[in-house]
Chains A and B, each alone.
Chain A
Amino acid sequence: MATINASATISSDIASYPVTISGAMTMTKSANPSVGLEETTGLRTKKFTTTTAAVIVEHDELTDDKAHKVYIRNASGSRANFFYVAYNASAAAAGTAETIGKLYGGDWMLMPYNGNVNITVASSTATETQMLEYMVFADGIVAAKG
């Protein structure tokens, strides 16, 4: 069993009182929340030069209905560009069903993932290269078929 810790700190001065949110968790399995996740697809980095949607997490490589976690970061610097991120078999766009949101340059996300549908992304620009980092912390990986 591995130990994977994730913490977030969000600070804001939007309100007249300071807002500081701190969250910390240890990633654990669904069947036994006292046992840590112990599998990963590894930290991947991918360069995007087109706006064509691409699947970054194939659900059939993971066990369905589990407590996977997905970390994604737009490693580019421009706040003018972004990636659509969608819980969808093949599409990610403004009006696509189950498009989650837009990950602008520098933004990151960490979300729970049940492994039932692909995670798909699409870059907003074909004129500027964008880099994406992503990693799945898996609650069960299905061995690839030969």
Chain B
Amino acid sequence: MATTAQITITSPDLMPGSALNITANTTLTKAGVTADLDQKLSGVVKVTVGGPTEHRLGPLATEMAGDAHDIASYLYVHNKTTEDATYYVDFGIHETMIGRLYAGDWMFIPWNASDDNAELEIQAIGGTNIIEYCLFNSDVILPTAAA
């Protein structure tokens, strides 16, 4: 099994006289080794203002195998909203907002679930945002079912 990620960033006019052309490829693996990741979870969700204020994407940081922290996982998020270009979601880790993902924007980051509170969160700013996401990992476990 293999999971690969490629990025291309181009701009003909950001830096006059020097066209920008960045390309990078990587094969995503388990922490510190060359073994492939073997789990993923993904979805498409509508995130609206105030309902609730902050939404959790993916698992709780405590839902890792053996409560494992400092894992190797990778998160892709795409704001697929087309209704209004001014809509965005604030993206953060445990209520600390890091950046704004505007309508049409995507992001790709590693996530290590650094502690019990390090969950991935988004908050809609303006209207309803349609969010597509996928988390590639090897450590997420399912919550225990009620007896």
Binary interface encoding of chain B residues 19-51 relative to chain A, with 1 for a CB under 8 A from any of its CBs, else 0: 010101111110111101111101000000000
Contacts of A73 in B (CB 8 A): 24
Closest to A81 in B: B32
User: For chain A residues 1-16, which have a beta carbon within 8 Å of chain B?
Assistant: 2-15
Docked CA distance A143–B31 (Å): 40
Docked CA distance A40–B33 (Å): 34
Decide yes or no: A33 and B86 within 8 Å by CB, A14-B38, A85-B110 being known contacts.
yes
Contact assessment for B40 and A14 in the assembled complex, using a CB-CB cutoff below 8 Å? yes
Q: Give the interface residue-count category, chain B.
A: 35 or more
State how many residues of chain A have any CB contact under 8 Å with chain B.
65
The majority secondary structure among interface residues of chain B is strand
B67 within 8 A of A: no
* Contacts across chains A and B counted by CB atoms under 8 Å: 205
A98 within 8 A of B: yes
User: For chain A residues 89-120, which have a beta carbon within 8 Å of chain B?
Assistant: 94-104, 106-114, 117
B109 within 8 A of A: yes
Q: Which of B14, B22, B97 contacts A114 (CB 8 A)?
A: B97
B118 within 8 A of A: yes
User: For chain B residues 92-119, which have a beta carbon within 8 Å of chain A?
Assistant: 93-94, 96-112, 114-115, 118
Name 8 interchain pairs, CB-CB below 8 A, sorted by A.
A4-B14, A15-B40, A69-B99, A71-B7, A100-B110, A100-B112, A104-B31, A112-B99
Question: What is the interface of chain B, defined by CB distance below 8 A to chain A?
Answer: 1-15, 20, 22, 24-29, 31-34, 36-40, 42, 69-70, 72-74, 76, 78, 85-86, 88, 90-91, 93-94, 96-112, 114-115, 118, 134, 136
